[in-house]
Amino acid sequence: MGSVTRAVFGELPSGGGTVEKFRLQSDLLRVDIISWGCTITAIEVKDRQGRASDVVLGFADLEGYLQKQPYFGAVVGRVANRIAKGTFKVDGKEYCLALNKEPNSLHGGVRGFDKVLWTPRVLSNGVQFSRVSPDGEEGYPGELKVWVTYTLDGGELVVNYRAQASQATPVNLTNHSYFNLAGQGSPNIYDHEVTIEADTYLPVDETLIPTGEVAPVQGTAFDLRKPVELGKHLQDFHLNGFDHNFCLKGSKEKHFCARVRHAASGRVLEVYTTQPGVQFYTGNFLDGTLKGKSGAVYPKHSGFCLETQNWPDAVNQPHFPPVLLRPGEEYDHTTWFKFSVA
């Protein structure tokens, strides 16, 4: 059986409230999550020798998370990923968002779901966070009630996202954890072996907005259906890294998404999800300027993200999976992060 403990993590400036940390522990995993942005701050996983290492990038204290930083461990929303030119229409009405990643809107805007304090509720094997995103927050229509639930089951961390809207609005929620299975602070992820269960992917323009084409991976650098060693693969294809949406099975049921293996430690991460896509990102924008946990620095390619989600810019691309949530409907998606040793 697992345990859940809670402690104060820090105080927000100018009376903004108390950020708490929740520790979920099983015989195989230890996961720390804070109420600021529902952020995963640590995941401790044993290697084949039984030595535990923290495999997610992040900070030791609240100040680290409050500085400008690339969404380490956080839940992002109301709409994860990019919306072209920060505009979209719902039922004929145009909405304009902040262009916080010129010339587009990224991860919910200037103060997205990652930059707010959530209300926690402790469960027997996890923690549920909730908040109400008010009508018009960051330019989005309607009030949105949101619940994010983390539960631990042996070696599996389960993340469930639920939302209900008072008005039709796009919703796309994900977790933006950066993993390094050699242990956070390791210089790169080149020795990780990656598999992604996707026959197609979305090519992007120079601002990382999908062109609209749904392209077969066959015969391209994006064919990750059989395991590839990341460093060698990037070299062979002269790639700067990945920051692309891979298209998964269209089913709402749990399906296999990706597997990452670190041969030296034996650690394996498998990802399953109900979502139609996954953004595979290899930390291309990390530049070594941030000081992480235990004095770690995070240079380019020192962590990877597998952001299970709807396809980017779906609100502007009618042939992408539907992203609008209407009153009376419920947004309900789950992602499973399964850790093991091989």
Q: How many helices (H) and strands (E) does the chain have?
A: 2, 27
- The residue-averaged pLDDT of 123-152 equals 98
**pLDDT tens digits, 181-230:** 999 999 999 999 999 999 999 999 999 999 999 999 999 999 999 999 99
- Active site (annotated) includes residue 307: yes
Q: What structural domains and CATH numbers belong to the chain?
A: 3-341 (2.70.98.10)
d(CA 314, CA 301): 27
Tell whether 244 is in a known binding site.
no
Question: Which band of pLDDT confidence, cut at 50, 70 and 90, is reported for residue 251?
Answer: confident
Tokens of 63: 């100040």
Tell whether 178 is in a known binding site.
yes
Q: Is the pLDDT of residue 280 over 90?
A: yes
pLDDT at position 295 = 94
- The DSSP output letter for 84 is G
Catalytic residue chosen out of the listed positions 20, 44, 176, 262: 176
Tell whether 201 is in a known binding site.
no
Q: Is the pLDDT of residue 1 over 80?
A: no
- Active site (annotated) includes residue 143: no
pLDDT at position 77 = 98
Instruction: Calculate the CA 207 to chain-centre distance.
Output: 20
Q: Is the pLDDT of residue 150 over 80?
A: yes
Tell whether 243 is in a known binding site.
yes
Catalytic residue chosen out of the listed positions 20, 44, 137, 307: 307
**Element spanning 271, H or E:** strand 267-273
